[in-house]
Amino acid sequence: MEQFFLFLQKTPMNMVLLATVIISGAMLAWPAIARLMRPGQEVGPAEAVQLINRRDAVVLDVRDAAEYKAGHIANARNVPEGELESRSKELDRVKAKPIIVSCGRGNRAAGIAARLRKAGFSEVFSLRGGIAAWQQASMPVEKS
């Protein structure tokens, strides 16, 4: 170990190369670490389709109305994030069903799914990658 530190001290470029290796390794590992630290469960488009078809899951789209109209998952309910509390009675009717929360890129969905779990919803999932991942997987979208 001592020889390694001497080797690094000999040439400043060795320190730069070591720092580059450490930083690039951390950047490669970050998505996996971030996924583990997110609250709750995530599902990809394929798992979401299985939940919808096999267990009659409800898709909750939390984007604003304009984004929703541009394209959404079939039979998704549009409840913008700002209206979540005011429309809670509407959501209480589907409390027993699995709920898949979707947003544009998957960033907001995880936080909203955690809020729904705290409110007493037992099975809440966030759509990993949001509608963007859904479309990238060539899944159908409806426009209204």
Give the model confidence (pLDDT) of 13-71 as tens digits: 888 888 899 999 999 998 777 766 665 688 999 999 999 999 999 999 999 999 999 99
**What residue spans define the domains of the chain?**
2-37, 41-136
SS3 127: strand
Q: List the catalytic residue out of 60, 76, 99, 103.
A: 103
DSSP code of residue 57:
P
Angle at 130 between CA 32 and CA 76, to 5 degrees: 145
CATH class in words for 41-136: alpha beta
pLDDT digits (tens, 9 = 90+) for 117-137: 988 898 999 999 999 999 999
Give the pLDDT confidence of 75-118 residue by residue, as tens digits. 999 999 999 989 988 898 998 899 999 999 988 998 899 899 98
- Residue 7 among the catalytic residues: no
Return all residues near 57 (Cβ < 8 A) that are at least 6 apart: 48, 51, 97, 98, 99, 100, 125
By DSSP bridging, strand 124-127 and strand 99-102 are parallel
Q: What does the DSSP 8-state code read for residue 39?
A: S
Under 8 Å CB-to-CB from 102, ≥6 apart: which residues? 59, 60, 61, 62, 63, 72, 73, 76, 109, 126, 127, 130, 131, 134
Cα 48 to Cα 56: distance, rounded to the nearest angstrom: 10
**Token pair listed for 16:** 């730069």
Q: How confident is the model at residue 11 (pLDDT cuts 50, 70, 90)?
A: confident
